[in-house]
């Protein structure tokens, strides 16, 4: 058991330390995806994002795509970045590269049109990536404080085992981390609509409670129109919203609070402690938002054994479902089924999860990393034109 609550990471700033040291190949537009992918394949250890955006977007969507791309490059798990643009996209490569470089992180940028095409861009990008990869090999892990880490939490396919066992265990770990000045993000606003009263009560002050209330009302309005009723857990009062017990069970993974900030999608928190991010329930979109907001590690509870990963942040998959552990054991990092038989207490399980999180922060691979799951999906607000 880790008693000093430190982890071995890569210090980036006084306030943040990476638990991985990725070289990120970052396309700013869908048209640069293939070049980014080929460059990453040419340099062992490089990771390329793939996404369908960066072009024909406007307003909030264009700003959100740019914010997410900047946030992925800024994440402390990234040691260096190659930004690749086509040259005519909405999300300009220069702006993304400059914002990441302003953090003191090594960044290179190239545009396919300026270099005369994909082949030339591939050669130039591979050369830059090899050079940057050499710099990253010089980084060494050092003892780091939990105050330098941000952890995201997500609940995928909640069933009774998630609501009764897995989420309360994660909530206890979140409370432990918050007392050590770590940042903890939770999200999935639609899942929490039926627990509005409890969620508002977790706010640090009345102003934050009002922010939370406005966010919930905006989501209700969005979800109650026509064929956008997405929930399969109806209540008698409102068939479009999840059952109160499920919503409160989902909220349990956040711990006791208080909520210090309400974040827009992909926004980095400015305060220590527990923060609430505006994301949908979709796991890939929710995780992408939190990782872009700085989460270096994700704790994922699941009732189905669904394996969701991230290109740059390890995901610890947690299940208490006996059927999942029987058929999909390779998808699970922490088996909580002993809770069901009384062979393990919630407090003991929380200590197991805390220690596993510290081991992963120190370099131990998760199942998502071993199996190569690298899900990346930017939430879209409006239509693409």
- The tens digit of pLDDT for each residue in 291-320 reads 999 999 999 999 888 889 999 999 999 999
Q: Is the pLDDT of residue 361 over 70?
A: yes
In a domain, 380, yes or no: no
* β partners of residue 78: 22
132 shares its domain with 154: no
User: Final residue of a domain: which of 136, 171, 195?
Assistant: 136
Q: Is residue 237 part of a domain?
A: yes
What's the pLDDT score for residue 3? Answer: 47
Overall number of domains in the chain? 2
- 360 and 277 assigned to the same domain: yes
Tell whether 79 and 162 lie within a shared domain: no
Do residues 189 and 317 both lie within one domain? yes
Read off the pLDDT of residues 7-22 as tens digits, 9 standing for 90 and up.
999 999 889 999 999 9
The predicted pLDDT at position 4 comes to 60
* Mean pLDDT on 279-285: 95
Report in angstroms the alpha-carbon separations of 211 from 201, 203, 247.
Answer: 12, 9, 19
CATH, residue 87 = 3.40.50
Range(s) of the domain holding residue 43: 22-136
Q: Which two tokens stand for residue 167?
A: 């989420």
Query: Same domain for 84 and 169?
Result: no
What's the CA gap between 322 and 340, in Å, rounded? Answer: 9
User: Considering the domain boundaries, does residue 55 fall inside one?
Assistant: yes
Provide the pLDDT for residue 225: 66
What is the mean predicted confidence (pLDDT) over 192-215?
A: 95
Per-residue pLDDT tens for 232-267?
444 444 444 467 778 888 899 999 999 999 999 999
Q: Which tokens go with 70?
A: 């900047």
- The alpha carbons of the chain give a radius of gyration, in whole angstroms, of 21
Q: Do both 74 and 222 map to the same domain? A: no
Q: What pLDDT was estimated at residue 254?
A: 96
Are 201 and 302 within one domain? yes
The confidence band for 231, taking pLDDT boundaries of 50, 70 and 90, is very low
Q: What angle do CA 84, 87, 93 make, to 5 degrees?
A: 45
* 212 pLDDT more than 70: yes
The C-alpha atoms of residue 88 and residue 75 are separated, in whole angstroms, by 26
Residue 226, pLDDT score: 52
Q: Are residues 212 and 320 in the same domain?
A: yes
Sign of the Cα pseudo-torsion (262, 150, 317, 285, in order):
positive
In angstroms, rounded to a whole number, what is the distance separating the alpha carbons of residues 192 and 198?
Answer: 9
| 9: in domain | no
Contact (CB, 8 A) for 288 and 267: no
Residue 63 is predicted with a pLDDT of 95
- DSSP lists the bridge partners of residue 196 as none
pLDDT exceeds cutoff 60 at 2? no
Residues 197-217, mean pLDDT to the nearest whole number: 96
Domain match, 263 and 347 both: yes
The mean pLDDT value of the chain amounts to: 92
- Per-residue pLDDT for 329 more than 50? yes
Alpha-carbon distance of 261 to 274, in angstroms, equals 7
- Are 341 and 212 found together in one domain? yes
Q: For 50-54, what is the mean pLDDT?
A: 95
Instruction: Tell the residue number behind the tokens 């919203």, with chain if given.
Output: 241
CA dist., res. 234 & res. 231, Å (int): 7
* In-domain check, residue 343: yes
Q: What percent of the chain has a predicted confidence (pLDDT) above 70?
A: 94
Whether residue 10 lies inside any domain: the answer is no
End position of a domain, from candidates 89, 115, 136: 136
Question: Do residues 206 and 335 both lie within one domain?
Answer: yes
Provide CB contacts within 8 A for 352, sequence distance 6+.
Answer: 334, 344
List pLDDT tens digits, range 90-124. Answer: 999 999 999 999 999 999 999 999 999 999 999 99
Cα separation, 249 vs 198, in Å, equals 11
Using CA atoms, how far apart are residues 24 and 83, in angstroms rounded to an integer? Answer: 8
Is the pLDDT assigned to residue 50 strictly greater than 80? yes
**Residues 162 and 208 placed together within one structural domain of the fold:** yes
Per residue in 333-353, pLDDT (tens digit) is 999 999 999 999 999 999 999
Alpha carbon distance 279, 188 (integer Å): 5
| Percent of the chain predicted with pLDDT > 90 | 81
């Amino acid at each position: 058991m880790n008693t000093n609550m430190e982890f071995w990471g890569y210090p980036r700033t006084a306030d943040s330390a990476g638990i991985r040291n990725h070289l990120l190949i970052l396309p700013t537009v869908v048209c640069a995806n293939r070049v980014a992918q080929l460059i990453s394949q040419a340099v062992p250890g490089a990771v390329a994002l793939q996404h369908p955006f960066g072009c024909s977007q406007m307003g909030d969507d264009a700003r959100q795509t740019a914010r997410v791309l900047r946030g992925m490059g800024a994440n402390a798990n990234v040691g260096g970045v190659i930004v690749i643009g086509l040259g005519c996209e909405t999300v300009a490569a220069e702006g993304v590269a400059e914002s990441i470089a302003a953090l003191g992180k090594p960044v290179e940028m190239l545009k396919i049109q300026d270099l005369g095409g994909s082949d030339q861009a591939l050669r130039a990008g591979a050369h830059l990536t090899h050079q940057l990869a050499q710099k990253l090999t010089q980084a060494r892990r050092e003892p780091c404080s939990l105050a330098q880490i941000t952890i995201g939490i997500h609940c995928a396919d909640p069933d009774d085992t998630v609501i009764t066992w897995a989420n309360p265990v994660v909530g206890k770990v979140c409370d432990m981390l918050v007392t050590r000045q770590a940042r903890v993000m939770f999200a999935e606003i639609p899942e929490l609509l039926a627990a509005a009263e409890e969620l508002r009560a977790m706010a640090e002050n009345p102003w934050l409670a009002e922010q939370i209330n406005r966010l919930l009302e905006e989501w209700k309005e969005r979800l109650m129109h026509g064929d956008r009723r997405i929930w399969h857990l109806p209540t008698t009062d409102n068939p479009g919203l999840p059952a109160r017990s499920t919503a409160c069970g989902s909220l349990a993974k956040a711990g006791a609070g208080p909520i210090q900030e309400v974040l827009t999608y992909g926004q980095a928190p400015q305060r220590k402690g527990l923060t609430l991010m505006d994301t949908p329930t979709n796991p890939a979109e929710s995780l992408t938002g939190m990782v872009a907001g700085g989460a270096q590690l994700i704790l994922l509870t699941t009732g189905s054994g669904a394996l969701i990963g991230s290109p740059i942040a390890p995901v610890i998959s947690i299940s208490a479902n006996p059927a999942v552990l029987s058929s999909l054991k390779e998808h699970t990092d922490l088996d909580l089924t002993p809770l069901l038989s009384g062979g393990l207490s919630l407090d003991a399980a929380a200590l197991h999860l805390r220690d596993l999180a510290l081991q992963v922060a120190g370099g131990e691979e998760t199942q998502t990393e071993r199996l190569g799951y690298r899900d990346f999906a930017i939430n879209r607000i409006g239509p693409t034109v």
